[in-house]
């Protein structure tokens, strides 16, 4: 099944229109397709989870998702993801001159990294996206339109229509200027209610409301699409399919497929040229009913090619937009934002009431100069992100080489926010973990796994050095920098001395070992030195905490481990052995000094032997009740799961004491 994702699900959204059309077109073409749309009461994270679950429970052959919102970021790597470049939210923000949302950028970056296939509805969309993201090949084929929308009826009023959000990116200023240039011509607008405020000054412009799109297409001879940029323009295609003549700038995506006499273009951002184009269109009697069929054919061919693992570039799509044009688009959009800003008081006031947090956040950012957005986008050096493979894009913050300690670099990370910081270290290039790390990167709602709290490091394990040699060679000040991390994940590290060393650097570091089962490890030797073991771990291994999971779910477990590591102790006792009966005074237990309460049948029991091990054996046999603090419970979770096993109790007491915790004994 071909699955389409719609993380927007709004009637005025091009993505929603596209998804609904595409699913209808594909089903009719013999490609079973389904669309998953975000629900109104659903968060993006919930939607991503739902998508991942759907993909794991249904036979999905490919998932298609827009690059924005990272809707497919949690989909397992076995399902190929196809990213359709509709229009990046981040690029839109850059065009608008807004403070670009780094979160959005990272989400899109992850989505593009993760994708097996990338396609765009036009060359210009591909060209524009490559300014910000780097990827290999890109298919080019048109957006489809559901045939039910197609109409051959074209007896219309001589009028000009506008459909779309009332937003400067949609070229509303150009539309109003056009209305001013043609005072005798009737103009209709289908948009949100916010448009009415601007339209009151134009007697020749009539507002039809947000839902009267079909009515507009039936009334208007011309539909103008003055958007600053469109990767394709579903509005233009709909208008063409409905038999309208379309007028738009010459750099829009749809221009690559259609031309006169159904589509008239104007030189980009030149109003005089637009006026001429409208005049020409007024005299045209053609209609573009067949445009929908062309687009549908292009789309079906494109999807079929992707399903057969090949790239398809529609020969009808003629890319005519170059670097100069892209720069020019940015330049003009930047100027537009300047014009807009001149009367920004009311906008800011509105923002203050509607979204006060964002208002103060933006104000703070601008004041502190944390992020400066140049007005002239064409001169901005845009970030380039490598995509192949994902590991290559990981910037190693730490290079921990045992061969040469001068290579040991830990970037200056303050210890202040250590509880919220996580480090991933691997011997090599995170080969197996690309997918997993990208998915971890997708947890944007979880602060410790967000940039810049997430750091990557490399450990050179080619030398069989031990903990003592590492400690001796690295000065304490440098060692203590590891203390800036709360959780350190070691990936497929076979040398337990590395974990031992890290635990020596700071006793509060949680050292987690991640193992994918690609090669055998001596877990009995490893487990005492790790706080957590994750992955393909043999069941016989005893450790403080073990999460058995396959690679597909490692990212979820990683999140869980971090979550448990930063949990604030509630300071309450959890019964782990017997403990079903209430004991007076449990509420007043001093969790600051002791981490557990052991109730013994006879605290002064006699024992033989002179080792602590032999004492623990007797101690465990004397246990009547055992309570531990919630913090301890989380830390030794796996051991409590098998606590009826005497050996497990013995191992727990031994490790508990070794880790520096203390029991209050009654």
Using CB under 8 A, list all residues that contact another protein.
466-468, 471, 476, 500, 503-504, 507, 590, 592-593, 598, 603-604, 607, 610-613, 615-616, 654, 657-658, 660, 662-665
Residue closer to another protein (CB basis): 296 or 467: 467
| Minimum CB–partner distance for residue 408 and another protein (Å) | 17
Distance of CA 555 to the CA centre of its chain: 13
Does the bond joining 663 to the residue before it have cis omega, within 30 degrees of 0? no
Q: Compute the distance between CA of residue 212 and CA of residue 216 in angstroms, rounded to an integer.
A: 6
Distance of CA 173 to the CA centre of its chain: 33
Q: Compute the distance between CA of residue 150 and CA of residue 288 in angstroms, rounded to an integer.
A: 10
| Minimum CB–partner distance for residue 58 and another protein (Å) | 49
| Minimum CB–partner distance for residue 593 and another protein (Å) | 5
Residue closer to another protein (CB basis): 423 or 653: 653
Residue closer to another protein (CB basis): 405 or 468: 468
Do the beta carbons of residue 201 and residue 179 sit within 8 Å? Answer: no
| Minimum CB–partner distance for residue 39 and another protein (Å) | 50
What are the tokens at 235? Answer: 């509005």
First to last CA, the chain: 63
Spatial CA neighbour of 162 closest among 119, 124, 183, 192? 192
| Minimum CB–partner distance for residue 599 and another protein (Å) | 12
What are the tokens at 333? Answer: 């959009």
Q: In what order do the strands lie in the sheet with 487-491?
A: 409-410, 396-401, 454-460, 422-426, 487-491, 510-515, 532-535, 546-548
Q: Which residues contact 466 (CB under 8 A, 6 or more apart)?
A: 497
Sort strands 409-410 and 396-401 into parallel, antiparallel or unpaired: antiparallel
Residue closer to another protein (CB basis): 345 or 593: 593
Q: Which residue has the tokens 């065009």?
A: 95
Cα 410 to Cα 327, 380, 397, 441, 465: the distances in Å are: 39, 31, 6, 21, 20
Q: Compute the distance between CA of residue 79 and CA of residue 204 in angstroms, rounded to an integer.
A: 53
| Minimum CB–partner distance for residue 478 and another protein (Å) | 13
Q: Which residue has the tokens 């957005």?
A: 373
Residue closer to another protein (CB basis): 356 or 603: 603
Residue closer to another protein (CB basis): 181 or 650: 650
| Minimum CB–partner distance for residue 665 and another protein (Å) | 4
Residue closer to another protein (CB basis): 70 or 496: 496
Residue closer to another protein (CB basis): 456 or 589: 589
Residue closer to another protein (CB basis): 213 or 529: 529
| Minimum CB–partner distance for residue 470 and another protein (Å) | 9
Cα 454 to Cα 446, 451, 560: the distances in Å are: 11, 5, 15
Which burial class, exposed, middle or buried, applies to 331 when counting CB atoms under 10 A from its CB (0-12, 13-18, 19+)?
middle
The length of the chain, given as a count of residues: 666
| Minimum CB–partner distance for residue 616 and another protein (Å) | 7
Return phi, psi of residue 487, to 5°.
-125, 130
| Minimum CB–partner distance for residue 614 and another protein (Å) | 9
| Minimum CB–partner distance for residue 651 and another protein (Å) | 11
Q: Which residues contact 567 (CB under 8 A, 6 or more apart)?
A: 630, 631, 634
């Amino acid at each position: 099944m071909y699955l389409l994702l719609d993380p927007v699900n709004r009637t005025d959204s091009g993505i929603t229109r596209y998804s609904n059309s595409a699913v209808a077109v594909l089903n009719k073409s013999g490609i079973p397709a389904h669309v998953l749309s975000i629900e109104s009461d659903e968060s993006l994270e919930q939607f991503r989870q739902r998508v991942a679950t759907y993909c794991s429970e249904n036979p999905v052959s490919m998932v298609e998702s827009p690059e924005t919102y990272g809707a497919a970021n949690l989909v397992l790597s076995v399902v190929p993801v196809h990213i359709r470049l509709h229009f990046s939210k981040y690029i839109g923000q850059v065009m608008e001159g807004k403070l670009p949302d780094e979160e959005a950028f990272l989400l899109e970056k992850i989505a593009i990294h993760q994708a097996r296939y990338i396609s765009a509805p036009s060359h210009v969309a591909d060209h524009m996206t490559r300014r910000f993201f780097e990827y290999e090949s890109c298919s080019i084929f048109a957006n489809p339109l559901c045939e039910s929308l197609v109409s051959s009826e074209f007896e219309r009023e001589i009028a000009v229509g506008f459909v779309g959000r009332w937003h400067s990116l949609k070229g509303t200023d150009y539309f109003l200027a056009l209305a001013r240039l043609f005072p005798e011509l009737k103009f209709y607008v289908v948009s949100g209610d916010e448009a009415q405020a601007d339209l009151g000054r134009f007697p020749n412009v009539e507002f039809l409301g947000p839902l009267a799109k079909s009515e507009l297409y039936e009334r208007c001879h011309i539909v103008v699409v003055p958007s600053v940029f469109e990767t394709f323009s579903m509005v233009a295609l709909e208008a063409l399919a409905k038999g309208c003549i379309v007028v738009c700038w010459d750099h829009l995506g749809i221009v690559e497929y259609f031309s006169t006499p159904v589509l008239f273009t104007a030189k980009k951002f030149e109003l005089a040229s637009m006026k001429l184009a409208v005049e020409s269109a007024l005299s045209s009697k053609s209609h573009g009913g067949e445009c929908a069929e062309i687009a549908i054919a292009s789309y079906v061919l494109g999807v079929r090619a992707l399903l057969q693992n090949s790239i398809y570039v529609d020969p009808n799509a003629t890319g005519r937009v170059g670097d100069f044009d892209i720069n020019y688009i940015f330049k003009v959009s930047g100027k537009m934002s300047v014009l807009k800003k001149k009367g920004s008081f009311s906008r800011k006031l509105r923002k203050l009431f509607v979204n006060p947090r964002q208002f103060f956040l933006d104000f703070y950012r601008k004041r502190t100069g944390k992020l400066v957005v140049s007005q002239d986008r064409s001169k901005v050096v845009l970030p380039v992100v490598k995509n192949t493979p994902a590991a290559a894009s990981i910037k190693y913050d730490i290079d921990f080489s045992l061969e040469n300690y001068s290579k040991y670099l830990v970037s200056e990370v303050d210890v202040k926010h250590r509880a919220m910081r996580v480090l991933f270290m691997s011997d090599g290039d995170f080969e197996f973990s690309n997918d997993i790390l990208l998915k971890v990167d997708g947890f944007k709602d979880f602060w410790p796994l967000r940039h810049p709290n997430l750091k990557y490091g490399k450990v050179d394990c080619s030398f069989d050095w031990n903990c003592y040699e590492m400690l001796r060679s690295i000065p304490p000040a440098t060692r203590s920098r590891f203390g800036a991390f709360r959780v350190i994940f070691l990936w497929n590290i076979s040398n337990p001395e590395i974990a031992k060393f890290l635990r020596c650097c700071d006793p509060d570091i949680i050292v987690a070992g991640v193992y994918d089962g690609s090669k055998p490890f001596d877990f009995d030797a490893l487990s005492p030195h790790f706080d957590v073991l994750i992955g393909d771990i043999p069941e016989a291994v005893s450790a403080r905490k073990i999460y058995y999971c396959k690679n597909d779910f490692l990212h979820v477990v990683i999140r869980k481990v971090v979550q448990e590591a930063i949990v604030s102790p509630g300071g309450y006792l959890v019964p782990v052995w017997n403990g079903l009966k209430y004991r007076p005074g449990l509420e007043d237990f001093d969790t600051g000094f002791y981490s557990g309460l052991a109730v013994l049948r006879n605290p002064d029991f006699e024992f033989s032997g002179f080792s602590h091990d032999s004492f623990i054996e007797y101690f465990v046999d004397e246990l009547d009740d055992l309570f531990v603090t919630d913090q301890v419970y989380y830390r030794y979770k796996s051991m409590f799961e098998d606590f009826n096993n005497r050996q497990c109790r013995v191992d727990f007491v031994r490790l508990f004491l070794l880790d520096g915790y203390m029991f209050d004994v009654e």
